[in-house]
Chains A and B, each alone.
Chain A
């Protein structure tokens, strides 16, 4: 039908109408600007980054030469790199395990109807929707070495002794715990709303049928809800991993990688090396270590999308 109408019009119209009716030309033309922008502003810088990592470029330099894998060798030879790699993995894995548990519990509590639900949802979404750099500053104040409200409350409730006053961001292990808490705080809302969307998509009939057959709450949860929720849980986890593994804001604002680089992650280390240290080549080499995880996540996404297309 479409082609028939198109033909009658092309007969008497000029090139402009012909173009406006020719889908084979129209679609590529409508897509081209967006794709061009993405190629120029994502693709090109990415290849530049690959190029920098095998060169000796610095912030001020006018010329650069090829140095092969020298930057990678140099980066891998430092202790800070290995600390950063280890911390990035701990930061990601520990926070995402907690996110998964918390988000599941929270999503199930929110799937029931109750009064004031919209307000509860607004409150629990705050950490995700507010700019994270500002939320992190809120935590900086909560973790303050002198005025920490956590310590005050701990002492008031006798959880901390009168002389116990943990310096949250000043001791290596505690600092790591602190930044992981903030990352959990930030990602839980996103994972919760994603899981909630999954929960509401499970038809109530299935639950009812299972209940009639005598399945209790736990059995329904473990044998119906969790399996049906698996693909969407995977989506939530993938986003959590991406937004945690490649994040630098939380660490950058709370500890700056300190004390003594003990909370440094790959992303902050790339920033301190490449931007503040002016060693663009070294920074590019560090940041490229983020790439394999990105590729892995992208592949899982593609598999998921293919699966949902088939079913």
Chain B
């Protein structure tokens, strides 16, 4: 298995503002943390310091590839077997623009979708989540609870737990 197994502490929050406050403090303290939420919320995004995704760059690469093939492939086939039609050009840019546009959208769209899951998977390898039965049984992060997971050593756990308790954490679990 890639990456280190999880060591740290995790808490379950009922309220979004409380979870966001904890996240903002963890960020200030430079802790290694992850956040779980049932839907994307800008409050959490702001608390995390508005990190960026590399998706737009990958979309540009895939879309550019599509555009290249969309013009390149029809042009090559037109030159491979020349079919003269009156005075019309063999390589017809207006006609091939449609193919170029469609392939740009096709490769760009599919590449973007694959990138969403590939980057999410890579992040999960880098920032490991707890693997305990207790964590797996906690199935409300897709429902109505917010989770804050902190990767830390046993000595730091007490301070993190106390901070979580200050912010009305519903449940705290240490895993070492």
The answer on A and B forming one complex is: no
Contacts from A to B (Cβ < 8 Å): none
